[in-house]
């Protein structure tokens, strides 16, 4: 070994450790690794609730609507029973729309950057909780890479979970700075941290409801770490209440604002299941969340866990035993540690999940969602980091070597599992196929997949799946609605009318919402019931004149009814609302074609093909427009493209043959 002035040269690992001990180097590197792991999501599409929440949102298209976001439900245009009050998430959506329009890559970029921000916030929180540097770094790395976070990072509509966690972690870290007299002896500086903490809590609350537990977390921390040593239990409790009180006041103010904004919402209360059903099911739900934290495989957005009514031994007793053993282990570990970090991390995990444990707020079976674990998993990341840093030496391996190898194996496994499983969120078809294969009894997966198959022309498969959903879940309204849509798409109009009426009887609120009316109008229009369809169009456009789905559906209804000027007007407005989408351009082109404005319509038809060349209709109608204008060569090319997409289409074959003869 070489020596310099009597001192051995540091090894590569020592040099790396020296540089990474600087937060200015470690944190950008951790952020870069996190971004790379999720960089593949930039090619993902809008999926699932992204369509009503983003593409079809009438609010996000103008900053002038921001006051409206603070005074209404996030999904007010979708259903009257929703209770999602998230104005800051709407503001984030407005920013994304301003920057990227409806280009999914930009929205996914924003979601990944939010996750990076949350990771950095967890590092700061861990340091303020007293974790030494490398343990805090490990907690942040575990939080960054854990596959349970796939849903809120890859699914844009779940970015509210990322935002609320980032704000909550920052708010708690600021609270810790505000009460740390040794670190901040200046009272003005502590007051500034305290005000910042309250402001950040307000941001968290206005992002998602999960932050309502923040005051409880403050109280628990203050009780575990009283400001003065050797205080009586009574004074200890009083001190905790006093420290939590300002945060409780902010939460109460939020609750009043939320109640005022959601005054006309009917809520999601489930009257068909009582607290006994909830008590029987809670152990199973908690054990599933624990399993996903410890063994994050089978990740999906469509878990299905209905209320427990049978199999009491396996679904109630066994989960209670497992959960009790885990709690006992955490108690013993905290007692051995001699401080309260383990206890507080465990409480963060459990209390942070509490808002998602009132099962009666959810539909039967919809109790488990990975996004609900995003905020609570901060506690898990801290516990996992503490556990890994306590690993002892083993058979000739030093303790640091054992710990380093374990960290490398765990993080590598997390990266592989995250990359392998995030791909299922890339489009609706993969998402629904994944969910239906893992949980075949899930009615949402069955109905959603049936609609996807129907849109792709696989009508027999779609009808079979939708009929099974109705048969197995007759009380589920969207199963009947999906079956009605598949019947109508397949041209079975009589059966479609019957099933549509049944769906509207089961869920009368659906047709009262703006998007519901637009959807039902589209179904009536497809069946040729133009009177009913246009009557619904008048109602929805009077209520929400800028709703994309209403403009698009009603424009198409006018087109099918032969009212071409009216169709043109509505489709132009739909196109202004969503200029990145191919469909409104295509149908506007068709309306202009039938109006006798072929040269102008041809421009829009060509643009639709350029945006999305995978749709048969786009090539077919562009070919007809080109043929009308006398461009036989390009018309032939487009007919051939249409035939490539639908090889058995007789109409295209006839038109192509006629074109060849000429």
DSSP states of 275-310: HHHHHHHHHHHHHHHHHHHHS--S--S---BPPP-S
471: Cβ–Cβ under 8 A, 6 or more apart, which residues?
A: none
What does pTM read for this prediction?
0.91
Instruction: Give the ranges where 393-492 is alpha helix by DSSP (H).
Output: 399-422, 428-438, 443-455, 459-472, 477-489
Helix (H), strand (E) at residue 3: strand 3-4
Contact (Cβ atoms closer than 8 angstroms) between residue 341 and residue 129: yes
Predicted local distance difference test score (pLDDT) of residue 353: 96
End-to-end CA distance of the chain: 87
Strand partners, 305: 365
230: Cβ–Cβ under 8 A, 6 or more apart, which residues?
A: none
Comparing CA positions, the residue from 364, 561, 568, 367 lying closest to residue 472 is 364
Contact (Cβ atoms closer than 8 angstroms) between residue 154 and residue 167: no
List of the chain residues with pLDDT < 70: 1-16, 76-82, 264-270, 662
Predicted local distance difference test score (pLDDT) of residue 59: 87
Average confidence score pLDDT of the chain: 90
Residue 295: burial class (beta carbons within 10 Å; 0-12, 13-18, 19+): exposed
Q: For 322-370, write each residue's pLDDT tens digit.
A: 999 999 999 999 988 888 899 999 999 999 999 999 998 888 889 999 9
Predicted local distance difference test score (pLDDT) of residue 79: 59
């Amino acid at each position: 070994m070489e020596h310099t002035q009597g001192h051995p040269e540091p090894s590569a690992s020592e040099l790396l450790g020296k540089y990474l001990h600087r937060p200015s180097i470690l944190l950008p590197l951790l952020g870069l690794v996190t971004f790379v792991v999720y960089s593949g999501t930039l090619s993902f599409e809008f999926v699932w609730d992204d369509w009503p929440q983003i593409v079809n949102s009438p609010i996000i298209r103008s900053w002038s609507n921001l006051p409206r976001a603070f005074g209404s439900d996030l999904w007010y245009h979708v259903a009257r029973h929703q209770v999602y009050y998230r104005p800051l998430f709407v503001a984030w959506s407005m920013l994304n729309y301003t920057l990227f329009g409806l280009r999914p890559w930009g929205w996914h970029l924003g979601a990944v950057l939010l996750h990076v921000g949350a990771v950095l916030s967890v590092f700061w929180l861990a340091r303020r909780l007293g974790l030494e540097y490398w343990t805090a770094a490990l907690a942040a790395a575990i939080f960054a890479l854990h596959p349970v976070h796939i849903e809120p990072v890859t699914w844009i509509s779940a970015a509210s979970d990322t935002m609320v966690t980032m704000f909550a972690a920052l708010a708690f870290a600021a609270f810790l700075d505000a009460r740390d007299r040794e670190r901040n002896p200046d009272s003005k500086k502590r007051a500034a941290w305290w005000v910042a903490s309250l402001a950040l809590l307000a941001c968290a609350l206005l992002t998602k409801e999960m932050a309502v537990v923040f005051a409880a977390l403050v109280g628990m921390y203050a009780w575990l770490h009283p400001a003065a040593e050797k205080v009586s239990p009574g004074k200890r409790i009083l001190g905790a209440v006093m420290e939590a009180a300002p945060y409780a006041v902010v939460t109460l103010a939020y609750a009043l604002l939320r109640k005022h904004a959601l005054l006309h919402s009917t809520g999601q209360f489930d009257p068909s299941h009582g607290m006994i059903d909830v008590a029987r099911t809670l152990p199973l739900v908690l054990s599933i969340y624990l399993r996903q934290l410890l063994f994050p495989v089978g990740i999906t957005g469509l878990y299905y866990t209905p209320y427990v009514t049978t199999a009491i031994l396996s679904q109630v007793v066994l989960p209670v035993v497992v959960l009790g053993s885990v709690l006992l282990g955490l108690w013993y570990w905290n007692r051995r540690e001699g401080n309260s970090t383990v206890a507080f991390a465990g409480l963060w995990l459990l209390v942070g999940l509490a808002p998602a444990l009132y099962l009666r707020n959810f539909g039967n079976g919809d109790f488990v969602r990975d996004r609900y674990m995003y905020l609570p998993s901060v506690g898990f990341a801290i516990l996992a980091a503490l556990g890994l840093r306590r690993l002892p030496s083993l058979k000739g391996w030093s303790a640091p070597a054992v710990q380093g190898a374990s960290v490398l194996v765990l993080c590598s496994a997390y990266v592989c599992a995250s990359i392998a499983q995030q791909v299922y969120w890339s489009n609706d078809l993969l998402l629904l196929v994944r969910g239906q294969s893992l949980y075949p009894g899930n009615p949402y997966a069955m109905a959603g997949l049936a609609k996807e198959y129907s849109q792709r022309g696989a009508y027999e498969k779609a009808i079979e799946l939708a009929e099974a959903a109705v048969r197995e879940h007759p009380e589920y309204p969207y199963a009947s609605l999906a079956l009605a849509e598949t019947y109508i798409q397949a041209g079975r109009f009589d059966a479609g009318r019957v099933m549509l009426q049944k769906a509207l009887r089961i869920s009368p609120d659906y047709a009262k919402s703006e998007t519901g009316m637009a959807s039902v109008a589209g179904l009536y229009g497809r069946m040729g019931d133009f009177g009913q369809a246009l009557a619904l169009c008048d109602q929805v456009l009077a209520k929400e004149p800028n709703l994309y789905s209403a403009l698009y559906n009603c424009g198409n209804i006018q087109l099918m009814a032969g009212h071409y000027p009216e169709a043109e007007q509505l489709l132009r407005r739909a196109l202004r609302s969503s200029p990145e989408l191919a469909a409104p351009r295509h149908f506007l082109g068709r309306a202009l074609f039938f109006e006798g404005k072929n040269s102008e319509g041809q421009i829009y038809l060509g643009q639709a093909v350029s945006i999305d060349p995978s749709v048969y209709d786009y090539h077919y109608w562009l070919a007809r427009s080109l043929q009308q204008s006398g461009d036989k060569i390009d018309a032939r090319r487009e007919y051939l493209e249409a035939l490539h997409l639908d090889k058995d289409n007789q109409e295209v074959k006839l038109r192509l043959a006629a074109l060849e003869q000429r």
